Structure 1
Amino acid sequence: MNRKLLTVLLLAFALAAGCSFVVYRMVGHKVASNHAAHTTKVIAASADVRLGSILTAQNITTVEIAGAVPKGALLNPEDVIGRGVMSDLYQGEPILDSRLAPKGSGGGLAANIKPGMRACAVKVDEVVGVAGFVTPGMRVDVLASGDAPGNPDPKEGTKVKTLLQNIAVLSAGTDIQKDAEGKPQQVHVVNLLVDPDQAQLLSLASTHAQIQLVLRNPLDTATTTVQTTAMGSIFTEDAVAAPIKHPAHSGGAYIRPAVARTVSVEVINGAQRSEKKFAASEASE
């Protein structure tokens, strides 16, 4: 091959390679600059953080978010460190301002109490606490059952009343208390978010009556008028025949089917005995 032609080809290849490298660097730099321009570093949890904890430098890290930043996301560590956690945070989750207590309010349960509200503790067992399904953020109704003071009607017996409806649960867990002998024992405690009047009512009921928590759908915030129920009324015919509304039926009420009443008659014929059953109407005839 001609030496001149070989030299020209080598120079052409070298020039093409140089141009390709320059274009590659320019395009790469442009893409990198565009990527950096559309990402934002926000503060996130470096590990799972439980409700009531005080955030420290070890609890936080930074993550890059492309596009729009979530509303309330915090960008500076100074805005996070030292504030109490108002709901559980999970590893890698961006920390929002609404999930933290105001600066200086500390941590724990007190930081979750809204102005004008109170946290009222109710001692319950696993059954009263809906078998452990009452967790922070749930909503419950509070039922109180007991004997009315004074001279109650002995035919009615114990009564139960829906005391409070649509009450938010702040916390649920165990506490260490001492029994009559001074020995420590674990008790289940549920803290409910109530106003001052409701706190007085709940405190009085928990002292003189038995408290039952009824779990409800958090989306169902409606309150209804519920009549007090007496033990004596449960075994009346009206209570059995009363229609019961069933949410699965959209067209009306679900009515218990009537049970035919029968009368048994023992027939003795010499040494033989037999039993025959008749409907109540036939027996009367």
Structure 2
Amino acid sequence: MRLVFGLVLVIGVALAGFAVFMAKDRIQAYRTEIAARDAALSQIVPTAPVYVLTQEVDYGDKITKEHVRIVNWPQSAIPESAFTEEATLFPAGDGELRVAIRKMEKDEIVMASKVTAPGEDVGLTSLLDPGMRAFTIKVDVTSGVSGFLRPGDRVDVYWTGAVRAGDALGIASGDFTKMIESGVQIIAIDQTTSFSTSDAAIARTVTVSASPRQVATLAQAQSTGALSLSLLGARDDSVAQSIEVDQNRLLGIEQREVAEVVKEKEICTIRQRKGAEVIVTEIPCAK
């Protein structure tokens, strides 16, 4: 009997130890799971709804409700001009729709800077920033970078012409080439304002966005000489310095300063003899 009682006691102690071990392991796994969940919750970024495109939209396409959908976007990464409410994107319903002023890809955020106002047509006015004006420059195959210019590109503008001011204004006469404007943005090629145009075409006119002062400079330059455009790289943020080249600098000819010959003052005298003494007297020279 005692043997049976001892055996039962040993088995009970073993089962109790096993139960404690299993419970400890289960509690540790539970704590690990809670810690992982807390870590995941700490990584969750606050989001807000924004409108994105459901399909590719080209320049001039109207934006309808079928073109957009709402997605949750990280609040810290939402662009300032993004549309977050239907009442803002479609204030007049389907009566007056916004129009894309540049090509946009699927799932791209719809922003006010990429579409017109409700009911507004696409035109140059929608591409001009406040305070800027549109100015057209005549170009050909050489001055227009062989037709590789597109709306949205930036160019430097060079003027080539003859200066005949002479010495009256202290300016040397001759033919000059000078950079008059740097980093001017193109908004239209001929009659095309689409930013998605990729084919090269020989243009006759290029329309740029310029300030009133730049417009006056370009107008004066175009009426007095020839304008040429130089294309800037897409990632070129450098500011070009003033550049001016004339024929002498082009050919490496150094101008020599001609020394001015100083004419000595003419002195006229007469000589008179008084005995053994000769007296020299200065008199006015005859003209």
**TM class by shorter-chain length?**
0.5 to 0.7
- The CA distance in 2 between the partners of 1:194 and 1:67, in whole Å, is 36
For residue 217 of structure 2, the aligned residue among 201, 223, 228 is 201
Corresponding letter in the other structure for 2:216: Q
The CA deviation string for residues 230-281 of structure 1, in whole angstroms up to 9 with x for no partner, is 1232112569xxxxxxxxxxxxxxxxxxxxxxxxxxxxxxxxxxxxxxxxxx
**Cα drift, residue 228 of structure 1:** 2.0
- The CA distance in 2 between the partners of 1:78 and 1:174, in whole Å, is 29
Aligned to 1:118: 133
The range that moved more, 73-82 or 200-209, is 73-82
**Cα drift, residue 173 of structure 1:** 3.8
User: Aligned residues, how many?
Assistant: 188
CA gap of 1:224–1:238, structure 2 versus 1, over 3 A, is farther
Work out which of the two has the higher radius of gyration on C-alpha atoms and give 1 or 2.
2
Aligned to 1:68: 74
For residue 229 of structure 1, the aligned residue among 245, 259, 267 is 245
Matches within 5 A, 1:211-226: 211-226=227-242
Aligned to 2:90: 78
Query: Which of the pair has the greater relative contact order for Cα pairs under 8 Å at 6+ separation?
Result: 2
Aligned to 2:24: none
Query: How many percent identity over aligned positions?
Result: 19
- The CA distance in 1 between the partners of 2:182 and 2:188, in whole Å, is 17
Q: Any conservation in 2 of the 1:156–1:233 contact (CA below 8 Å)?
A: no
The CA deviation string for residues 213-233 of structure 1, in whole angstroms up to 9 with x for no partner, is 111234444434324211232
Give the TM-score normalised by the residue count of structure 1: 0.54
Aligned to 1:90: 105
For residue 187 of structure 2, the aligned residue among 170, 186, 189 is 170
- The CA distance in 2 between the partners of 1:83 and 1:119, in whole Å, is 23
Aligned to 1:183: none
Q: Any conservation in 2 of the 1:135–1:172 contact (CA below 8 Å)?
A: yes
Aligned to 2:283: none
Give the TM-score normalised by the residue count of structure 2: 0.54
- The CA distance in 1 between the partners of 2:125 and 2:54, in whole Å, is 22
Runs of 4+ in 1 over 6 A off after TM superposition: none
For residue 138 of structure 1, the aligned residue among 127, 141, 153 is 153
The range that moved more, 87-96 or 61-70, is 61-70
Is 2:51 aligned against 1:42? yes
Q: Any conservation in 2 of the 1:45–1:94 contact (CA below 8 Å)?
A: no
